[in-house]
Chain A
């Protein structure tokens, strides 16, 4: 599918930076719509799960909004291509240790843990441009390719149990920078803030 025929339904559960991702998608020629309630967005060809803030807050908002059932139906059931970004990726895990023990959606299994560093020059949070190394082909990216993306996070996704690692990143330790389970793709970095590499990533998603 080309970007100009994509209709991306952005899951709006009041815990994400919707404006930046909307601008990026529209810049690529796609139409972006907001999904605020389970009945919205039946004409969407793709779904996007953003996320900014604390894991527990985001998970709570998603459950309370009724949009978790929406994702279960459309992403897991009807296999609509879906992209999780930043905390929207972390939510796919079973658990996170951010501020105690938090339960995620479990779509891809595994856990999210605080990044650790024993080297004082490796600072946490992990903020800035770092290389994601792809370990599988994904749209315009080939396995083995490395590209710089913008990261801004304190917690990292360890190996998913359902699905597989699409790209890794190293900051003190190696964590999962992007993952894929069939029609579900997720990135720890912010493609909407990653200039040309980010646009390639979003185009690759919309080609699914």
Chain B
């Protein structure tokens, strides 16, 4: 049986440290006010030892990946020093960017803004690299009327499209996975928006990952059981709380969710 996935999310920004610029692991709250956490490769190795099922690595600087030598080097190092699946995104603009990241050891490539600008990119990437490596990442906010809309550029702009509408279109066009993030809940620790996740999971045949809001182990269980998510991703939760994937995993398994317990 296919296991549900527990996915630490590594958000990356470039920081000037003395004379050099280095990629640093950060956390965000509602997509802003980031805290620096440390070295992404060291943290990835810790997550691997703790049996994380996959890593999502997102550059949130917005630099086009084709120009981002530091990010490409980071992916190479992550793929060289850990032996687990990597989904990588942030700054993916063109079809060739998928190839750039896959060559450096990414297994899946996440695309967000560029897919909104040019939805044909989804189908082109699926035809060239296979649907299973094309992840369409969707950030959303929920208005006072309860409707959830897609947002872009670190949630500063709304697109006027509902999450449901865009997720369905992305899956129809060949996305192999949908990665949802609730911008309102990001970094808050008050629980996932499993309701939106469930709505999307019921409407598309591909796996759906939900993130934004994990604060306790039971939030993961809600994502899997109520939200029908195939994976739950979290950044702040794993970085700052006295929780690690192993403890969280035990809690989820005790709730009856099929999950990996050993390699």
By a beta-carbon cutoff of 8 Å, the part of chain A in contact with chain B is: 17-20, 23-24, 27, 52-54, 57, 87, 99, 117, 120-131, 148, 150-154, 170-171, 190, 192-199
Q: What are the 3 closest A-B residue pairs judged by CB atoms, nearest first? A: A196-B263, A125-B132, A195-B263
Tell me, rounded to whole Å, the shortest Cβ–Cβ distance linking A109 to chain B: 23
User: Which residues in B have their C-beta under 8 angstroms from that of A148?
Assistant: 3, 260, 263
Count A-B contacts at CB 8 Å: 117
Option from A18, A19, A57, A125 in Cβ contact (under 8 Å) with B176: A125
A3 CB, min distance to chain B CBs, angstroms: 15
**B230 on interface, CB distance cutoff 8 Å:** yes
Residues of B within 8 A of A128 (CB): 2-5, 53-54, 207, 230-231
With A19-B104, A123-B205, A190-B107 known as contacts, the answer to whether A152 contacts B133 (CB < 8 A) is yes
* A130-B2 contact in complex given A19-B79, A99-B127, A125-B206, C-beta closer than 8 Å: yes
Within 8 A of A (CB), among B1-37: 1-5
- New contact pairs (12) apart from A53-B130, A194-B83, CB-CB < 8 Å: A24-B83, A53-B133, A54-B129, A57-B128, A87-B130, A117-B205, A120-B205, A128-B207, A152-B133, A192-B83, A195-B84, A199-B83
- Which residues does B use to contact A, with CB under 8 Å? 1-5, 48, 51, 53-54, 76, 79-81, 83-85, 102-105, 107-108, 127-133, 176-177, 202, 205-207, 228, 230-231, 260, 263
Question: Cα distance A151–B202 when bound, in Å?
Answer: 23
Q: Is the CB of B3 within 8 A of A23?
A: no
State in angstroms the CA–CA spacing of A117 and B54 once bound together.
Answer: 24
Instruction: State in angstroms the CA–CA spacing of A87 and B107 once bound together.
Output: 13
How far is B130's CA from A52's CA once the two chains are assembled, in angstroms? 8
Contacts of B84 in A (CB 8 A): 150, 193, 195
Nearest residue (CB) in A for B104 is A19
Task: Give the interface centre of B5, B81, B105, B128 by most chain A CB atoms within 10 Å.
Answer: B105
